[in-house]
Amino acid sequence: MSTLSQRYFADENAPYSLLEAKPFFETLSPKEKKYAHFMSRAAFEGTRILIDQTNPNALPIYDLILNVFTDKQGNMIETEALCKASEVSTEAFEQFLQYSAQFLGNQSNYKSFGDEKFIPRLSSQDFEKIVHASGSDKAIALFEQSKNEIFSVEPVAGNLLGFPQEGHVSGYYSSNVTNDDIKLVQAFLEKERVDPLNTRLFKDKQGHFKLVIAAAEEEFEEKVYALDNGSKITLSFTDFQQPLKKVAQAIHDAIPYAANETQKNMLESYYTTFRNGSMPAFVDSQRYWLQDLSPRVETNIGFIETYRDPQGVRAEWEGFVAMVNEEQTRKFNRLVDNAPLFVSRLPWTAEFERETLNRPDFTSLEVLSFATGGIPAGINIPNLTELTQIYGSKNVSLGNVISAKAPNEKFPFIRQEDLKLYKDYRNPSFEVQVGTHELGHGTGKLFSEDENGKLNFDIESVVNPVTKEKIKTWYKPGQNFNSKFKSIASSYEECRAECIALSLSPYEDILKIFNYEGQEAEDILYIMYLNMARAGLTALEFYNPDAKKWGQAHMQARYAIMNVMLEAGQDFLEFKPCTVDGKESLEIYLDRSKIRSVGAPAVSKFLTKLQIYKATADEVNGTQLYMDATNVPEKWNSTRNIVISSKQPRKVFVQANTILNQHDDQIQLREYEPSATGMIQSFASKKVENGQSHHSRDQVSALAIGLSGLSTLALGDTFPEFSKNISQSQTDFTEIALSFLKRSDGRLTSDAST
């Protein structure tokens, strides 16, 4: 393959980790298990939505993978038998497994962490051989349909997610929608009070628009409006109808197992919003969710995060189900108990904080199911300021995600003298960081004006601490943080929360909440800052210098903070050149004695500006601040090259499935091995289909795969290689088979007699 193609190869040895949930799942009552099962089902029924939102050309690849690896009943076939039947090398087949598993893990052929395309390492010819060996007519047709999408890396701009006008890929907009079109429609939506969270935007050849709203049923009629430029826009409640019907049904099935009336109301609101596309119903679901404090089974579902919409206003599908880790939650509850004290330490005056700091719900969860392209370590939701400014938010730390370890994990750029301490305290320090980070998301007031012209602040007395002048900008009716700060909003807010974590964590009483005192507390703090510096450095992997575009919100945020720490001076943070295994590398030198005197004050000063610009809807100065902080100058190209050459593959989480046993009406948990095959089997068992019947296999291929699998199971030997395209030059298949059976006859008799 070309050098360009190699740049986009899927990871060669991706580390797979089992998302361990069984010990916590087994503590649930039968009723709670039913609730968890149906809500997990609802989350995963949205898989096809998520894939289509990311890349409109990726669903055939998803269907192709499942059709290759499953029989006509939808059950997983023997991968060893498929490998043998395909006649490709073991290496090529492993590369096929890796691509398939990584596609399923990312829910796309674009990385969930980086938004960059990846392609198989094996050749198109070997890929095709494996597809044909599966004997699935549907898989063969799907390969022909998606072959170019799987392997193409040109034009290069198409290898990134982003605005279509810039040549990038997006499932939220048709390819002919321009940036000006998006702004035009956004202004219309704000005027008409239409929330774009669950929408996509398409344009026809005549220049007219269609805003499709996700809904299982067309309960609301289409409406046509005239836009300011003379074009028309049609609002249609017809997007993702088939998967949302299944989502709604699963939620309906969960209602009898709700733990209380609040949960029941939440589920009924979910059912309504996914059935008819009503955003007010979704807001209701989140209000009830906030009121359902400390449930045994926690779940949230819907169009939640806006990271991957280049405009930052449309959200992708996700849903999770998790069980409470009560021991860890007690730590977070102590953090919550002292939240007013800790928030008062943030570097802004009371006028810029919410009048009432609602007691946030902070829980440590063990994930059972998470339908998403990339599982986070923590969550702070809902992302609805109309609710969070009044009711607060829920903060969630995902314990089994944080604690998951990959085999043979390496940590480039950490000095040898820091390595043991880093390995020992990386996860514990990250737990503290996640806790204070998620707490930070729930802080800060937004200055706004309601529809009656009333301001929620005193315009005469409040002074902007950055400009030393009166407040001049605020959120107008129909506007919110995402609509004002657009594409940088998600990363900007992640940066603000990370800065809050670094600003609060030096306080000894916060570290004590997590049971760290004395020297151990100091080590935790040091590793937290060291880890942030390393994250900022490795973030360069997610920056594309050609497009001058960041591909991951959190990593862009961490790069900004790394820059702040570098610019703090006084030798607080330095990157020094070194050699590792004969290659150029870098070592991070961070002076732990200056964290409280140099590092934390610099971060707090930057945090103040982030908060003030956000609070006052000052997207002009806020955008300038953030773009300056995340600018990657050309002199950093050599550093980026070192980072790229040292990059490590990201962990891939293999999730269990819940199974409803039809015989005893009980829920069972089925786990899978942490491997590429285990990942594929996990998704095959979910049986998230497009409503069409399963594929058929031609009889010869089905026989070959079946015999090969049977022989391995019964005889401990593999059936001979087989091609359905038998020619005169090939050895006769029948003779090979007979010879094989004669060789195995003794073992077969011996096994039968025991």
* Tens of pLDDT, residues 338-369: 999 999 999 999 999 988 766 667 889 999 99
Say whether 593 sits in a helix, a strand or coil: helix
Catalytic-labelled residue, pool 431, 438, 493, 619: 438
Say whether 227 sits in a helix, a strand or coil: coil
Q: Does the pLDDT value for residue 707 go beyond 70?
A: no
Q: Name the nearest CA neighbour of 306 among 433, 414, 161.
A: 161
Domains defined along the chain, listed by start:
3-19+47-164+651-753 (no CATH), 172-239 (3.30.70.2600)
Q: What is the DSSP string of 511-573?
A: HHHTT--HHHHHHHHHHHHHHHHHHHHHGGGGEETTTTEES-HHHHHHHHHHHHHHHT-TTSE
In 293-351, DSSP assigns E strands to: 297-305, 316-324
226 phi and psi angles, rounded to 5 deg:
-95, 135
252 is in an annotated binding site: no
663 is in an annotated binding site: no
Say whether 36 sits in a helix, a strand or coil: helix
Spatial neighbors of 416 by CB under 8 A, at least 6 apart, are none
Q: Does the pLDDT value for residue 494 go beyond 80?
A: yes
Query: Rounded to an integer, what distance in angstroms lies between the CA atom of residue 165 and that of residue 522?
Result: 49
Residue type, 233: I
Tokens of 79: 């991968």
- Find out whether 683 and 68 touch, Cβ atoms under 8 Å: no
Q: Name the nearest CA neighbour of 47 among 244, 200, 181.
A: 244
**pLDDT band at 488; cut points 50, 70, 90:** very high
Q: Does the pLDDT value for residue 740 go beyond 60?
A: no
**Quick one: average pLDDT of 633-640?**
95
Query: Rounded to an integer, what distance in angstroms lies between the CA atom of residue 415 and that of residue 749?
Result: 61
How many of the other CB atoms lie within 10 Å of CB of 699? 10
Say which residue, 692 or 192, is predicted with more confidence: 192
Tokens of 670: 């089925």
**Quick one: average pLDDT of 463-491?**
95
Tokens of 284: 């209701």
pLDDT, tens digit, 9 for 90 and up, residues 561-616: 999 999 999 999 999 999 999 999 999 999 999 999 999 999 999 999 999 999 99
Q: Does the pLDDT value for residue 728 go beyond 60?
A: no
Please classify residue 505 by burial: count the beta carbons closer than 10 Å to its beta carbon, then call 0-12 exposed, 13-18 middle and 19+ buried: buried
- Find out whether 615 and 446 touch, Cβ atoms under 8 Å: yes
304 phi and psi angles, rounded to 5 deg:
-110, -60
Q: Name the nearest CA neighbour of 690 among 45, 151, 206, 37.
A: 45
Q: Does the pLDDT value for residue 522 go beyond 90?
A: yes
Q: Does the pLDDT value for residue 749 go beyond 80?
A: no
Q: Name the nearest CA neighbour of 200 among 91, 372, 317, 318.
A: 317
Spatial neighbors of 76 by CB under 8 A, at least 6 apart, are 69, 70, 680, 681, 684, 685
Spatial neighbors of 230 by CB under 8 A, at least 6 apart, are none
Q: Distances from the Cα of 9 to the Cαs of 6, 88, 123, in angstroms?
A: 5, 19, 11
| 77-81, 275-279, 646-650: least confidently modelled range | 646-650
441 is in an annotated binding site: yes
Query: In the Cβ-directed half-sphere of 345, how many Cα atoms lie within 13 Å?
Result: 20
Query: Rounded to an integer, what distance in angstroms lies between the CA atom of residue 707 and that of residue 738?
Result: 13
DSSP-H helix ranges across 403-504? 416-441, 481-485, 489-504
- Find out whether 224 and 247 touch, Cβ atoms under 8 Å: no
Q: Does the pLDDT value for residue 184 go beyond 90?
A: yes
Residue linked to tokens 């900007």: 492
Query: Rounded to an integer, what distance in angstroms lies between the CA atom of residue 660 and that of residue 662?
Result: 6
Which strand (E) or helix (H) includes residue 186?
helix 179-192
Q: Does the pLDDT value for residue 695 go beyond 70?
A: no
How many of the other CB atoms lie within 10 Å of CB of 141? 16
**pLDDT band at 391; cut points 50, 70, 90:** confident
DSSP-H helix ranges across 22-123? 22-25, 30-44, 47-54, 59-69, 79-86, 90-106
- Find out whether 43 and 35 touch, Cβ atoms under 8 Å: no
Q: Does the pLDDT value for residue 128 go beyond 90?
A: yes
- Find out whether 81 and 166 touch, Cβ atoms under 8 Å: no
Which residues make beta-bridge pairs with 234?
210, 224
**Quick one: average pLDDT of 125-135?**
98
Q: Does the pLDDT value for residue 744 go beyond 60?
A: no
**Quick one: average pLDDT of 700-708?**
49
Q: What is the mean pLDDT of the chain?
A: 91
Please classify residue 271 by burial: count the beta carbons closer than 10 Å to its beta carbon, then call 0-12 exposed, 13-18 middle and 19+ buried: buried
Q: Does the pLDDT value for residue 386 go beyond 90?
A: no
Residue 438 a catalytic site member: yes
